[in-house]
Structures are given as C-alpha cells and as structure tokens.
Structure 1
Amino acid sequence: MIIIENCAVATVDDDRTEHRSGHVVIGDDGRITALGPGPAAVGDRTATRVDGTGCLATPGLVNAHHHLYQWVTRGLAQDADLFGWLTTLYPVWARLDTEAVYAAAAAGLGWLALSGCTTSTDHHYVFPPGRDDPLAAEIEAARLVGLRFQPCRGSMDLGRSAGGLPPDALVEKTEAALLATEAALDRYHDPSPGSMLRISVAPCSPFSVSPTLMREAAALARRRGVRLHTHLAETAEEEEYCRHTHGCTPVEYAERLGWLGDDVWLAHGVHLDDRALARLAETGTAVAHCPSSNARLGAGIARVPDLLARGVPVGLGVDGAASQEAGQLGAELRQALYAARLRGGPTALNVRQALALGTIGGARCLGRADEIGSLEVGKLADVALWRLDGLGHAGIDDPVAALVLGPPAPLALLLVGGRVVVAEGELRTTDAARLTAAALRAHRRLLARAEPAGRRAVA
C-alpha cells in the first residue's frame, strides 16, 4: 500500500473535484482505494507513506498520438511543411531496423515518463521490407520503461506510382498489411482489465493508404473489438488532396469508408468546418490534438474549444519526435491552452480544461476512460505527483495554474498501476544515461546508412 498525503489533489473526475490538501491511497492491487481531503484515515504501519507537501497529485497524463521511431531523426527538415517534411524523411526512415526502433522507443517513452505520462499510444506505420518486427521492439521498450502502452499497427499501401506520397519501396501490399495487422492483434493485444498492452488498428493517412485498406482495416478492427486510429484533416494540402482525388473533404472521405464512430480517434483534426465538427460530435469520433507539432510544421490551429463545446472527446498528443523535438507531454498542456487562446481569445480554454485534455480526454481517445484518466476509487493507480514548491512556481497559488502555466514541473513521483516509474525527477525503471547513449548511436548509424538522404534532411 502507498499513501500520498498533504498534497493538493486534482481528480479530473466528472465533478472536477479538487482538494487543497488531501490524500490518495493505492492498494496492493495497483488501484486507488481511497482519496479525499485531509490526511488518510489508514492505520496500516506497513504502508509506504509519501509526504506530498508542496505537490499536486493528478491523474497520469495520457498521450493520444505519437511516432516513437522518429526520436532518432529529430532536428531534420526544420523548415518544411508536412508534405515536404515527409518526402525528405521517408528515405531516411526506409533504413530503420529494429535496433533503431527499440532505441528510439525507449528514449521517447522514458522522456514521456519524465514529463508525467503514464499511458502512451504509438502509431507505427513504417515497415521496411525484409526487416524484423519493429512493433515487437517498441513493445519491449515500453516494458522496460514501465508505461501502459497502446501501440497502433499502422500501414501504408499507396505508393507514389499509385498517386500516394510515400515511395513505393516503403509501402506494403494491401492484403499483407491486413494480415500483419491481424497477426499483431493475435500476438500482443491484451483486452483484460488493467491491461498494460493493447493494440489498435491504424492505416496511416488519406495520402498514403488506399480506400480498400481503409475500409477493410475498419472491418477488421470492428470484428476484433479494437479501436481505430488515423491521421485526418492535418493540413490544407491534405484537404486539397482529398478534394482533388476523392471529390470530398477528409471527414466526408472518412465517413464514406466507415471511419467515423465512437471506436475511432483521429490525429490532428486541424482543418474542420462546422459540418465536419457536427459529424464528429454526432458519431462520437474523438480527436488527438497535437498543438506543438501543428505549430512546428505550420499546419494551423485546431478548433479545440469548438470541438469541446459540441461534446467531441479531445485528448492531447505529443506526435512524432521529428516534428516535436521537445517530446514532453506535460508541456503540451500549456501549448494547448496557448493555441486555443491564439485562435479564440483569453477565455477560449482554461487551465482545468487543458489538464482534462491531457488526462481524461486522452483516456477517452484510447477507449480507457473507465480505468485511467482521473483519480477515482477503483481506477488504476496511474498517478503523477508534481513538485510545485520550487523557485519556478513560487507565488502561483492555484496549483493547477502553476502546473499548466508555469515552467515544466519536476515529478516527485510517477506511478503506473502503483509501480514507481519516476521518483524525485529520475527514472527508476531503467537508466536514462543508457537510453541517451543508445538513441545517439542509433541516430548516427541511421543517418550514415541513409546517406545521401541524411545529408539532404539535415540541410
């Protein structure tokens, strides 16, 4: 048993209950057994007691969109838009092997943990022919770091010769992609309560996936009872592509193929008109908002307040580290608030809404709001304890405002299912220095193998 007390508590439950000084009790089964104001009424002398004085306890953050393999290609194509960035980096990613994917995933997940993340998805869609399974590599990395993991088996089957964006050498055959996706579900997906590993189905995007693969992937996911994920409405260029190629908007295209529903979450959703917002709301389709990546690539500002006002579930995503080099989920709380206010003014989004995006919103995207995303009795003990008593937060009396508006807060403690992953700002499940060294080696080796594409990406 772990007892955290003397801390501010923001539960992010349906009533948005908060305590200026409260407690959270975690049972040996890795679930929350009690919480509330004041000290814990638990007399168990064998319990581990954590003094949270000066700290804020929140649900662990939930990352609703990522591309972990990109950690080893950060800092490249710095001034490109999405299509230019992709076409520059595709030849580099074509050289990926499982060693690079493992190093990238371990580094990315370790860094996510240090920014308060307890659950992450990943959208892996690059499967160079003749290589070992990269999905297995990143799953092993998640086990090492200790995060709850919901990777997506992605796919691309629409190469350049067929009118798509990726090079032909980097796409799969349609049937092969579907078979590999089902094999990943058979091998890895664990639907049991409290699961540390679930798999989702995720063809990549309208400009890299054929309508057949989109339609059949949706059917596969629904037959297997798992969630669906893809990129949609990220850029103006994507909308132009859909109108030119399919004669409709991205959301209309998704709906034609059976890709709207309460088992679907879409990455980005930047370019949505009122009709698209209405269809997402009516169908219960969720959106993973990626404000830093959208800004880095100049994609635009998503209409998050409008989505929320219509009841669309919205979570936060870091997105791939090659278009969001900071790689921190905690910092996205502030970025989401800033982006909303740049578009809609100072009341467009408040600090508690921003925290909800990064917690219960992400849990809804992943279909796990019954288990994670809020601090409630019976839910999994995925807890972030943020230290707010240092110089950077001194004088910000509202702890949630301190977390969201202040500088990145160090973690006093990060628990995943009651297991310590971070303590006093340090990873406790693995050695951060080793992750750093392995990622640097993989980066250098990948760029050397990818020459001259690597030189062009750096330029």
Structure 2
Amino acid sequence: MIVIEGCAVATVDAAGTEHADGHVVVDGDRIVAVGAGPYRGDASATRVDGRGCLATPGLVNTHHHLYQWATRGYAQQEILFGWLKELYPVWARIDAGTVHAAAAAGLAQLALTGCTTSTDHHYVFPRGAGDLLAAEIEAAAAVGLRFHPCRGSMDLSEKDGGLPPDSVVEDTDAALAATKEAIDRYHDPAPGAMVRIAVAPCSPFSVTPRLMREAADLARSEGVRLHTHLAETVEEERYCQEVHGCTPVQYAEDLGWLGDDVWLAHAVHLDAAAIARLAATGTGVAHCPSSNGRLGAGIAPVRDLLDARVPVGLGVDGAASQEAGELGAELRQALYLARLRGGPAALTARESLALGTIGGARCLGRDGELGSLEPGKLADIALWRLDGLGHAGIEDPVAALVFGPAAPLRLLLVGGRAVVQDGALSTVDATVLAAGLARAARRLR
C-alpha cells in the first residue's frame, strides 16, 4: 500500500472535489481512498511526503505519432500539406529500429511531463520495414505507460488523387487484414488493460472511402474504437468540398465515422452544424493546440465543443509538428488558445486540467477507470512539485500548475507502479534513449 499525503489534491471528479491538504491511498493498481488531512489507516504503508505538491490524475494523451520523434525540425515554415509532402519521403525509410527508438524517447518525454496513458496513431508502413506496431508496443512496456496504439493506414496515393506518394500507401485489403491482425494480437479488453488497439485510417486526403467504411465496420465488429484526422486545415476543407462535395464532418458521417466510439484529431474548422452533429452522436475530439499553432492550422472551437457536451481531450500530436512533445505544457497552451479565440473567460485552469485528464479518458472510452482520483479507479497519479521558484506565491495550486512553468514531478504512478520519481525516469535510462533517438534521426537524414 502507498499513501501520498500532505499534498493538495485535485480529484477532477464530477463534483470538482479538491483538498488543500489531503491524501491519496493506493493498494495494488487501484486507488482505495482519497480525502482531506492525513491518512489514519494502515501504519505499515509506504508513505510519500507530498508537502508542496499537487496530486492530480495522470494526464491522458489522445493523439500522437511517435515515429516522428526521429524527424523533428523539418519543414519549419510549411502548412500541413507542404509539411507532409516534405516528410513523406523521409518517413518512407523508417523501420522497426527507428520506430522503437522514437517511441521510447517520445513516451519517456510524455512520462516526464505527467502523462500516464498515451495513444499513438501510426499510419506509415513501408514495405519490408518490420513489425512497427510491435516495436512501439514494446517501447511503451519498457517505459511503463498505459498505451492505446491506433493501427492507421493510407491507401489513396498521389497518382489516385491523394496526397501521399506510392511509397507510403498500402493495398486496401492488406491494410484491413493487418488491422484485424493487430486487434487479434494486441487488444486487451479487460479492466485495467495496459494495451488497447483502435482502428485509424489516416485522413480524408490519404484514404479511400472504401477503406474508411470497411475500417469502421471492422472496428465495430471487433468492439474497438475508431480514430482519424478530421477538419484540421482550410486546405482539407477545400479538398473535401472539391472531391466529395461536402464538409469533412459531413463526409465522416456519410461513411459511418461519427459515434460515441469515435474520436477525431484536431477538429479545428467546424461550423455550428458540425459541432451539433458531433454532440448528437457523442463523437470525441483530440485537441492539439501546440501542433495547430506550429502549422498555423487555426484554433479549435473548444469552448463551443464543451458547451455542446462534446468529449474533448488533449493531444501532443506528432513530434515533427510539436517538437517539445510535452503533455503537461498543453494544459497552458489549450487555455491560452481558447482565450485568444474567445476571451479571458473562454477556458478556466480547472477546465484545462479536465481536458488533459477526464476529457481524454472519455475520448478513449475509459472514463470509468481513468481520468479522476476516486476510489476504485486505476492508480494513475501525477504528483507535481509546486514548491520551487517558478510557482512560489501562486496560492491556487491548480492555477500554479496550468498558468505556471512546467512543474517537475515528485512522483508518477501508472497502475501503482512508479514510472517517474523526483523528476527522473525510474524504468528506463533517459541518456540511453536520447542516444538511440539521435542515431535513428541521423540514419534517416
């Protein structure tokens, strides 16, 4: 048993319960108690002194492309389509070794910034590259994060009216078969699962309607979730209007891609009708504020989505369009971008924290066991240090975390296991990961 005590606690439960001086008790992989003051129970439990800290649920990353950690810094002034055209030929050369090095480094960086559960959207499968999905699942197991890899796919090449070159697309039937194989091999539907698979064709401009429809049918027949990029840029909006005669959200709905088992990456360019359809169908959104800013894609209408009761989580997105790869910093970025769009009342610090925790859990269909500090939920807990120079004098600990500089971690637990202790990884060697990533990046260059 582990007792974290003497800390501020933001549970992010439905009532918004907080304790200025409280405790969280963990037994095995579950939270068994949360409350105010010191814990008066088992005196033999391992005690963690949380004074000067804030305990929150572990952060949930709802969108990523981990292989891109080996291709950071490219196409620095490009919009999405130009950025993709520069990077597709580089990505055509990735292999299992590259993906493992990139995924391990990216997941380690996420852990160091408070993330306990991460998705990954992997859609580039060059011929002869090895088992890329296995490579990143092995990396997640080594780092110790809960992992939701999304088996992506592209089958619409440039010669057929899409954006990607032939070198990075798959045959439609082969992509569907490989997706089914990934579900059979890796998906764990059990409570407390460390690995779950989602089905994730890439985007309207890289995937045929047939693959979108049949992928949705496959996911629903297998009982797994669906994920794709949608409504990220004005260029995508124009593409959908010209090629399909409708908006991206209308296109997705026509193909069976709205529903409470779907979450969409970005959703920047939405009109009122599109937001209403997402709300009516329970479709979730992965908001990626830093990536949207890096590519100049625009600012997602987060306030409008929340007011419509659309599930919204946070995503770091691929490291080639968000080189920092830090999820904790996205709390502040989300708040700032919402206020740039809608004014200083558009998003509060606590709403931003909810996006990064329970909102992300809702997108992944795991809000019954992740995303808040409540008895019975998984012991995925971030204990942030707020007693340093960067946060001194901010009385409200949640405001200190969201408005202040990046807070170091006193402790990060995933299922009760320590992944970060006192700002350092306890599962893997960060120096070794950095060296491996640098070698992989040099090979690609």
TM-score, normalised with respect to structure 1: 0.97
Distance 1:63 1:91 in 2: 27
Which of the numbers 181, 184, 187 marks the counterpart of 2:185?
187
Which of the numbers 287, 296, 299 marks the counterpart of 2:294?
296
Distance 2:15 2:205 in 1: 41
Distance 1:185 1:14 in 2: 32
Amino acid at match of 1:252: Q
Q: Once the 2 structures are TM-superposed, how far is the Cα of residue 150 of structure 1 from its aligned partner?
A: 0.4
Task: State which drifts further: 417-426 or 128-137.
Answer: 128-137
Q: Secondary structure at the match of 1:422?
A: strand
Alignment map for 1:55-454 (pairs within 5 Å): 55-447=53-445
Q: Once the 2 structures are TM-superposed, how far is the Cα of residue 102 of structure 1 from its aligned partner?
A: 0.2
CA offsets per residue over residues 177-222 of structure 1, 9 Å max, x none? 0000000001100110100000000000000000000000000000
CA offsets per residue over residues 320-350 of structure 1, 9 Å max, x none? 0000001000000000000000000000000
Amino acid at match of 1:171: V
Distance 1:68 1:364 in 2: 22
Amino acid at match of 1:247: G
Q: Once the 2 structures are TM-superposed, how far is the Cα of residue 168 of structure 1 from its aligned partner?
A: 1.1
Q: Once the 2 structures are TM-superposed, how far is the Cα of residue 270 of structure 1 from its aligned partner?
A: 0.1
Amino acid at match of 1:69: Y
Amino acid at match of 1:444: R
Q: Secondary structure at the match of 1:129?
A: coil
Q: Once the 2 structures are TM-superposed, how far is the Cα of residue 42 of structure 1 from its aligned partner?
A: 1.1
Amino acid at match of 2:437: A
Q: Once the 2 structures are TM-superposed, how far is the Cα of residue 44 of structure 1 from its aligned partner?
A: 3.2
Partner of 1:39: 38
Distance 1:325 1:43 in 2: 44
Q: Once the 2 structures are TM-superposed, how far is the Cα of residue 130 of structure 1 from its aligned partner?
A: 1.7
Distance 2:159 2:190 in 1: 42
Distance 1:289 1:41 in 2: 41
Partner of 2:50: 52
Partner of 1:450: none
1:18 aligns with 2:18: yes
Q: Secondary structure at the match of 2:241?
A: helix
Amino acid at match of 1:90: Y
Unmatched 5+ stretches in structure 1? 448-459
Distance 2:300 2:437 in 1: 32
CA offsets per residue over residues 142-198 of structure 1, 9 Å max, x none? 000000000000000000011000001210010000000000001100110100000
Partner of 1:452: none
Runs (4+) off by over 4 Å? none
Q: Secondary structure at the match of 1:391?
A: coil
Partner of 1:454: none
Q: Secondary structure at the match of 1:392?
A: coil
CA offsets per residue over residues 269-298 of structure 1, 9 Å max, x none? 000000000000000000000000000000
Distance 1:104 1:302 in 2: 28
Q: Secondary structure at the match of 1:43?
A: coil
Q: Secondary structure at the match of 1:298?
A: coil
Q: Once the 2 structures are TM-superposed, how far is the Cα of residue 41 of structure 1 from its aligned partner?
A: 1.9
Amino acid at match of 1:273: D
Distance 2:128 2:23 in 1: 52
Distance 1:20 1:219 in 2: 48
CA offsets per residue over residues 210-261 of structure 1, 9 Å max, x none? 0000000000000000000000000000000000000000000000000000
CA offsets per residue over residues 429-457 of structure 1, 9 Å max, x none? 0100000000000000111xxxxxxxxxx
Partner of 1:453: none
CA offsets per residue over residues 14-69 of structure 1, 9 Å max, x none? 001000000000002x1000010001121331x11001000000000000000000
TM-score, normalised with respect to structure 2: 1.00
The CA RMSD over aligned residues, in Å, is: 0.4
Query: Sequence identity of aligned pairs in percent?
Result: 74
Q: Secondary structure at the match of 1:208?
A: coil
Distance 2:174 2:88 in 1: 20
Q: Secondary structure at the match of 2:88?
A: helix
Q: Secondary structure at the match of 1:395?
A: coil
Report the number of matched residues: 445
Distance 1:300 1:157 in 2: 27
CA offsets per residue over residues 70-116 of structure 1, 9 Å max, x none? 00100110000000000000000000010000000000000000000
Distance 2:385 2:288 in 1: 25
Distance 1:130 1:429 in 2: 31
Q: Secondary structure at the match of 1:130?
A: coil
Distance 1:92 1:441 in 2: 15
Amino acid at match of 2:225: R
Q: Secondary structure at the match of 1:13?
A: coil
Distance 2:338 2:287 in 1: 11
